[in-house]
A and B are shown apart, each in its own frame.
Chain A
Amino acid sequence: MSSTTGSQREAYQPPSVGSSGVGRSYAPAPAGTMFYLCAECGVKVGINKGEPIRCKECGHRILYKQRTTRYLKSKSIVPG
């Protein structure tokens, strides 16, 4: 039933190859890229500062920040 609802002017068009971010994740990430987890497909997504929040595989709109594994240098890291 819902297929008849959409008016013709704004019908969905499948993404054309090359225009989207798909495949970009294989390119070497520039320095300063942070990696996040996609909430939908769980893939690691590299996002540079100022880039839109979008999973590069599935286009999902929520990313989770990962628990860091890097050594944190700040001295006051110890709780309390």
Chain B
Amino acid sequence: MAVTVKPNTSFNILRREDLFRNPPKDKSAFPALLNAVKPHIESFNAITAEGGLLDLARQDIGVKCVFDGKGDGKGLGNKLSLRIDKIYVGKPKISERDKTTLRREIFPAECRERHITYRGKLSVKLGLKINDGPWVSQDREVGNIPIMVRSNRCHLENLAPHDLVERKEESEELGGYFIVNGIEKLIRLLIVQRRNYPMAIIRPSLAGRGKSYTNMGVQIRCVRPDQSSQTNVLHYLNDGNVTFRFSWRKNEYLVPVIMIMKALVETNDREIFDGLLTRKDMENTFLTDRAELLLRTFKGYQLLTRKENLQHLGEKFRIVMGVPPDMSDVEVGKEFLRKIVLVHLEDPRDKYRLLLFMVRKLYALAEGTCQADNPDAIQHQEVLLGGFLYGMIIKERAEEYLESIVKEVRREVQRGNVLDFNNKEHRTRMFSRTSENIGNSLEYFISTGNLSSPSGLDLQQVSGFTVVAEKINFYRFISHFRMVHRGSFFAQLKTTTVRKLLPESWGFLCPVHTPDGSPCGLLNHLTHRCQITTTTSDVSSIRKALVSLGVISPATSPLPHSATVCIQLDGCIVGWCSPKLAKVVADTLRFWKVEGSHGIPPDLEIGYVPISRGGQYPGIYLFSQQARMIRPVKYLPLEREDLVGPFEQPYMSIAVTPPEIAPEESTHVELDPTNILSIIANMTPFSDFNQSPRNMYQCQMGKQAMGTPGTALRYRSDNKMYRLQTGQTPIVRSPLYNEYGLDNFPNGMNAVVAVISYTGYDMDDAMILNKSAYERGFGHGTIYKTEKLGWTEERRSRIKESKFLFGFANPDEISANIDELHEMDESTDEAKVFKRKAFQRIGIRQEWLRTVDMDGLPTIGQLVKDGDAVAVYHAIPKEGDRTRPENKVFIYKGSEDAYIDEVRLLGSEGGDNKPMQEISIKYRIPRAPNIGDKFSSRHGQKGVCSQKWPSIDMPFTESGMQPDIIINPHAFPSRMTIGMFVESLAGKSGALHGIAQDSTPFRFDEENTAADYFGHQLKVAGYNYHGNEPMYSGITGEELHADIYIGVVYYQRLRHMVNDKYQVRTTGKISELTHQPIKGRKKGGGIRVGEMERDSLLAHGGAFLLQDRLFNCSDYTQTWVCRACGSFLSTTSSVRGSGFGSVVRCRRCAVPATGLEEGEMIWEDGLGGRFVGGKDTTVVAVPYVLKYLDVELAAMGIAMKFNISP
């Protein structure tokens, strides 16, 4: 890796300034940053490149056939063969219908600004053949697919920073993501099983396949050259039999393994027996018994030759495979073996040998001579790269497309329609009926992360493949690209085994950088030096090299007595050797590999598993393909860089530091101990001084800090964007900070921090902010919110006419009258009403004109409050309609006052001359630090601002210095963030001497302590060696009794702010059903006083408060109730009846009037019924829900009776 500038810690102010003013015209100054996203971009490039994965995929799809059933009636009729000759992915361009635009390219910035998708045309060259005629090709356009930014289909590929800035990008634009509807999305890296390695597994679920199935199996994930995969499993049965299992289009199938072996090659039982067992194994009755049984049970099928086996398989799988009807059973059988069995290998002989090996390994597992491989260890894992997944989806869609054409033809034939393949019109009809939009389904995939696939793509999940690349700050953004997820399937798992940090991960996955909470351990981050291979290395000379080392060819049968160690290259058996020779082979290969001789590729993984007692199954496993994690370490014999992978690492001796090198044992040494940390974890200063969870917290909080997402904010339209106005470069940082160019994205501020208990406002993780520091701009930030206004046309509707128009319906009338109207008097209320009406007469309101310009769009720079108009529009009057349409407005909805920062007028794509239908408004909300806002140092020490303390009352040192921030000493003893103390010392001396301090972890030890190193620096500057200083109370001026620890610490302002969180309610919205307050901050709801809160109020005797919260402020209602029968429901108000007590009567206690009663006794209900009695009613206060409950119960036929007293 070429590093342009040797990493250092110094500030490099001039260089930074120069880079910023004159972005380089050749290449980026920060190659390390580009390397971080390389796996994403390269994997995408691999699919679209010439002869790339799409090309391999279309070959794998092959030819689809359909018959028209015409002809002499007996045969199948004419045969139409279909294949894909080529798949092209074009660069993003504007539609060809648009004929006026000069520049045809669409750049990513435009897509962000217009909230559209960055996509390029996908076209397919379809090959058609009728019977045995020649292939005719035809181009079909199959939609637009999202294009990865900075990939080989992007206009920004290989652009220098200078040119990127010209294209409205960051100077260090990384790419690696897609833009869908203006949102940046990326396909997250996913952990999958290591390819082409037969893994021994013990899993209870394996036993569930049927009777006599055990929990043991050997599983291999075979990957085709086009990166699509197919998993094969061998099951071990109780009696020693072995079954082959695979899943095809989400269905599982079981086949006897011998049947597949015999179908693969022309073989016999003897050869299988010999291939299975070495001479040494022949003495082992466990193995011989099982091998014998395996062959004996297969006798029952009565299938002897290869042809018979192929025929049998072909017959059984004909329907499943969906092959054309003119294929013979043997051909179907071969197709089955090609498409399903060990698909990473081409040669059936290789497949046969690997199957034998797998059966042997399975028997070893059953026998207990080898251990099960741990599927949760990174040793048996690789990374599914976004580009490869994308390619797999395109492949599947393309195959589906061919099949849909076939299906359409078949349907036509069944209907009895005439379909002449030679007729061009018939052909176009055939295409017009099929859905030709592959692009849409890919856009759906990227925007939702949902995979809708008939095969499931051999993956364990169907959703959660994509995430939004949030640009809260740069740390957050860059972490997305280094993130690897274990798979959403594991998130639901109750067991924690998958989440555990295993020693195998050393150097590949960062042990610190994982979130706490539900995704803990499932969402990991790659270490900063970990790379992922995206191409296959050249392995053409490996076989030759092996032979020269004395390895025996796999074709030798039977193998010599000593040849017990199998050598595999990417899942293909390339030789056998003795255990003694195996070590020599592995060591020599490594030497040659690092040396670069004998044609051994430098990133070859040489997994030498030595023979052990019950350990991992021995062998030499070489891996050269894509998707492997590799990392550089130093190879001692040659003092050169070697790339190691997770499979080989557990069997290697890699010293962490040069003093740890064990003679005769260590072969490697780490280039740097910090290589085990991710980019973000490396940014924690002195992280080796901290308690480890604190470093984890910092990795989380660093990503939540309000920072600088970039410099091209002007051309972004994220829904919400945070920005720190006064970002600084940290005084204390590691060299990696410069290497990654993080000065372009400041994430916090250097603050003078005193650790002191002062005023009491710093209790419980609160911190006091110096008011003067705040006034100087400390922590000031801004939030940008973007809103799109307008009317998007419905895709389906044929009506292309727009219905609305931005602007005033009567601009001439308004501009003619506006001056006069503004001058109008508004001194009295009457005059105000008169003025309002005058405005109303011309169809507007006066207050609109404050924020809306004459074009109906908001005025830039204006302050808008909740409810202010931001845009005026009106309906387009229908033809002939001469009345003035009504002016309507879009309203700014937001509790905070905002400024109109930018207004974009978005034109429609395509050549249609439609008027403006969409605008995009960016609001700017200033957010100065406030009481309640969250801050944190870089050591997991977060706190909330509790006061902005006046400068005059702050404590001061002998030199008159005041802290910017005061934190409480109690924040330290239990958390043990010594790193923060060291940072404080280092920051202080750095500030005094004007130098940047190196904070790389593992640089100090017991003899050379950090405290001493920085203490001496302080001493030289005339300060206390320990970092303490005498301080004076700002209030009394008296010296404080203790010296105060004061220094400079880099503080981050986190994005959690009170303004987004506070929730207050006195009265407000209530639920319709229960009349209780609704929940939700946005809707102005309340916070629930729940059971526990109730309990504590009860325990404290706060009955009156409880009554207030739960009743008076909730659903207090007064209602009538009958004292006699105790019912709410039977009360009814009497229509007639003043002068005789209550007006509400109980209908239930009343009896119909006979007419003989005195007139005063009789009352009448609303329907005119006359009654007597039911007088005993009263008003009670009850919760409204009680009435609701009563009604609900009444509906069930249950009456509630309330005893009313006194």
Contacts and interface: CB of A to CB of B under 8 A. Distances in A.
B1085 to A, nearest CB: 29
A12 B96 contact: yes
B822 A75 contact: yes
Contact of B916 (A1, A2, A53): A53
Contacts of A13: 99
A59 B98 contact: yes
B859 A72 contact: yes
B596 interface: no
B110 A49 contact: no
A43 to B, nearest CB: 12
Interface residues of B, number: 58
A76 B860 contact: no
Interface string A6-26: 110011111100001110000
B395 interface: no
Interface string B789-817: 00000000000000001110001100100
B854 A32 contact: yes
Contacts of A65: 853, 855, 857-858, 860, 902-905
A74 B822 CA distance: 7
A15 B91 contact: no
A28 interface: no
Given A58-B101, A63-B905, A74-B846, A39 B113 contact: yes
B902 to A, nearest CB: 7
Contacts of A1: 50, 88
A52 B916 contact: yes
B906 A79 contact: no
A34 B853 contact: yes
A55 to B, nearest CB: 9
B860 A36 contact: no
Contact of A62 (B96, B846, B862, B905): B905
Contacts of A40: 103
Nearest to A59: B101
Contacts of A63: 904-905, 907
B811 A49 contact: yes
A44 interface: no
Contacts of A14: 99
B674 to A, nearest CB: 43
B100 A76 contact: no
Interface string B287-298: 000000000000
Nearest to A75: B822
B141 A60 contact: no
Contact of B915 (A51, A61, A73): A51
B913 interface: yes
Give the interface size bracket for A toward B: 35 or more
A80 B123 CA distance: 57
Contact of A61 (B102, B847, B906): B906
Contacts of B811: 32, 49
Contacts of A27: none
Interface string A27-46: 00000101010011000000
B100 A21 contact: yes
Give the interface centre of B818, B849, B905, B906 by most chain A CB atoms within 10 Å: B905
Given A2-B88, A7-B141, A53 B819 contact: no
A21 B50 CA distance: 40
B110 A15 contact: no
B905 A53 contact: yes
Contacts of B818: 73
B139 interface: yes
Contact of B90 (A5, A36, A54, A73): A5
Contacts of A20: 99-100
Contacts of A53: 905-908, 915-916
B490 to A, nearest CB: 41
Contacts of B1201: none
A33 B415 CA distance: 61
B805 A52 contact: no
B104 A52 contact: no
A65 B854 CA distance: 12
Contacts of B91: 2
A7 B141 CA distance: 8
A59 B861 CA distance: 27
B100 A62 contact: no
Contacts of A15: 99-100
A31 to B, nearest CB: 8
A68 B123 CA distance: 46
A11 B847 contact: no
A61 B855 contact: no
Interface string B120-144: 0101000000000000000101000
B1182 interface: no
Given A5-B88, A61-B907, A75-B822, A68 B815 contact: no
B640 interface: no
A47 B861 CA distance: 21
A39 B123 CA distance: 31
A2 B849 CA distance: 51
A75 B914 CA distance: 36
B860 A73 contact: no
B103 A52 contact: no
A66 to B, nearest CB: 7
A76 B905 contact: no
A74 B824 CA distance: 12
Given A51-B915, A60-B101, A68 B905 contact: no
B649 to A, nearest CB: 41
B916 A11 contact: no
B907 A68 contact: no
B1092 to A, nearest CB: 43
A7 B121 CA distance: 12
B906 to A, nearest CB: 6
A10 B850 contact: no
Interface string B885-908: 000000000000000001111111
A75 B846 CA distance: 10
A30 to B, nearest CB: 11
Contacts of B97: 10
Interface in B414-451: none
Contacts of B123: 5, 7
Contacts of B863: 79-80
Contacts of A39: 110, 113, 904
B568 to A, nearest CB: 37
B343 to A, nearest CB: 29
Given A5-B123, A61-B110, A64-B903, A50 B805 contact: yes
A61 B822 contact: no
B853 to A, nearest CB: 7
Interface string B258-297: 0000000000000000000000000000000000000000
B909 interface: yes
Contacts of A58: 101-103
B807 A49 contact: yes
A1 B811 CA distance: 51
B114 interface: yes
Contacts of B861: 67-68
B855 A76 contact: no
A73 to B, nearest CB: 5
Contact of B121 (A5, A68, A75): A5
Contacts of A7: 123, 139, 141
A-B interface, 10 closest residue pairs, ranked by CB to CB distance from nearest: A53-B907, A59-B101, A61-B907, A65-B903, A79-B863, A63-B905, A34-B855, A20-B100, A5-B88, A74-B850
Given A65-B904, A68-B860, 7 more contacts: A2-B90, A32-B854, A47-B855, A52-B907, A59-B103, A62-B114, A66-B860
20 contacts: A4-B88, A10-B96, A12-B104, A20-B100, A49-B856, A50-B805, A52-B912, A53-B915, A54-B907, A58-B101, A59-B101, A60-B101, A62-B110, A62-B113, A65-B858, A65-B860, A65-B902, A68-B861, A74-B822, A74-B849
Interface of A: 1-2, 4-7, 10-15, 20-22, 32, 34, 36, 39-40, 47, 49-54, 58-68, 72-77, 79-80
